[in-house]
Amino acid sequence: MRLVLLAPLLALLLGGCRYTFIPIIPDPVAVSLPTRLVTASLRRDGRELIASAALSGKIEAGYLSVVWFDADRELGRDSVYLDATQRSAEFRITAPDKGSYRALLSFGGVLLRQVELRETGDL
């Protein structure tokens, strides 16, 4: 008798239950890593400064650019077209005097790295 009275009450309470579906294996996450500068250096070779750089990651074809500075004075600009087959570049500029040189490296308009070379005394 109690079960007969309890059945309609349980039917009302359990009628509002819904199943929640949770996938056992989640959907794969799409990750898009940005282009990275893996090596960058600035060195002197005689009267020239040489900035070299290498990129890694997914590369959309574009220009790797350099802006040269001696302290806060801009010395020049240059760029090289890179794609998936060519991932590195080397830039040269004539700088006969020692100084505090910087090269700003950017790819596709995004600044990636600044490399510096500080020199003192005579060459």
Mean of per-residue pLDDT scores for the chain: 84
Instruction: Calculate mean pLDDT across residues 6-31.
Output: 71
Q: DSSP labels for 31-94?
A: --PPPEEEEEEEEEETTEEEEEEEEES---SEEEEEEEEETTEEEEEEEEEE-SS--EEEEEEE
pTM of the model: 0.69
C-alpha 19/C-alpha 12 separation (Å) is 16
Mean pLDDT to the nearest integer, 14-31: 72
Q: Which two tokens stand for residue 9?
A: 């009450």
